[in-house]
């Protein structure tokens, strides 16, 4: 039986690339989405066309009760997960003096509270399965170095790194690793309207990254070769400090 993996925010962009790569590596992937059922179904269809095993699961990572309810139902029907990729996130950029309280709350609730909301119902079933496991959170270079206009986003992504490292210490003796991947500038919808030429000048490799390059880093951390790596942050940023 294939080992099950949940990818939150897996319907498009980096999440879809991660889901496709993990399915290619032989995992049974569950693609979480919040609203875009069409995009999630398209991601699953693409995986299945290439012989992969994939399905969808709808819930909002910011809704604690919904996470607990839907994940409990899913585990009851499909069994515990071997791995989780916490990829779902959002941003609401603005200079801090002009940042609304709702913008702060929305980003922190989705990006950081989502860590608890998703993983808390899943960790004990993983432990009880005695099969080890993999947890990867998708942080950001902004969570390591900060970024203008992204105080809320940077705070959430830095908190995600700290939470991941702490969880790694708790789960290490269970054979469950927990690591974070921190992308830099990646060609996704998040860069829509951004001054790409100017941003590219800031990157030592002089190009924007691709979703499949982030997915490859996640796939490595899910591999047997990475079984002794935990509590680490892997930057995928073209040398951007």
Distances in whole angstroms, Cα of residue 162 to Cα of each of 95, 114, 166, 228: 24, 14, 6, 19
DSSP 68: H
Residue 166: CA atoms inside 13 Å, Cβ hemisphere, count? Answer: 8
Q: How far apart are CA 133 and CA 122, in angstroms?
A: 11
Residue among 33, 81, 82, 153 flagged as catalytic: 153
* Beta partners for residue 58, in sequence order: 33
DSSP 197-238: HHHHTTSTT-S-B-HHHHHHHHHHHHSGGGTT--S-EEEEST
32-71: b (≥16 Cβ within 10 Å) or e: bbbeeeebbeebbeebeeeebbbebbebbbbbbeebeebb
Q: How far apart are CA 222 and CA 184, in angstroms?
A: 21
- Pick from 234, 68, 110: nearest CA to 165: 234
Q: How far apart are CA 160 and CA 154, in angstroms?
A: 10
Active-site residue flag, 81: no
- Pick from 184, 135, 185: nearest CA to 160: 135
Instruction: Show which residues are catalytic.
Output: 153
């Amino acid at each position: 039986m294939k080992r099950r993996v949940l990818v939150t925010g897996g319907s498009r962009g980096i999440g879809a690339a991660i889901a496709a790569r993990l399915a290619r590596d032989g995992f049974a992937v569950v693609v979480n989405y919040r609203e875009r059922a069409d995009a999630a179904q398209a991601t699953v269809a693409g995986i299945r066309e290439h012989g992969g095993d994939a399905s969808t699961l709808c819930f909002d990572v910011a809704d604690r009760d919904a996470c607990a309810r839907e994940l409990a139902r899913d585990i009851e029907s499909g069994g515990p997960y071997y791995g989780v990729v916490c990829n779902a996130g959002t941003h609401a950029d603005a200079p801090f003096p002009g940042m609304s309280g709702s913008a702060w709350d929305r980003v922190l609730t989705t990006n950081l509270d989502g860590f608890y909301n998703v993983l808390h119902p899943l960790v004990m079933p993983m432990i009880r399965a005695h099969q080890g496991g993999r947890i990867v959170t998708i942080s950001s270079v902004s969570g390591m170095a900060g970024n203008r206009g992204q105080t809320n986003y940077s705070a959430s992504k830095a908190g995600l790194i700290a939470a991941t490292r702490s969880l790694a210490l708790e789960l290490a003796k269970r054979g469950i690793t927990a690591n974070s991947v921190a992308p830099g500038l990646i060609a996704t919808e998040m860069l829509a309207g951004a001054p790409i030429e100017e941003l590219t000048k800031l990157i030592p490799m002089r190009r924007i990254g691709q979703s499949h390059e982030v997915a490859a880093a996640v796939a490595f951390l899910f591999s047997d070769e990475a079984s002794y790596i935990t509590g680490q942050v892997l930057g995928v940023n073209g040398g951007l400090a």
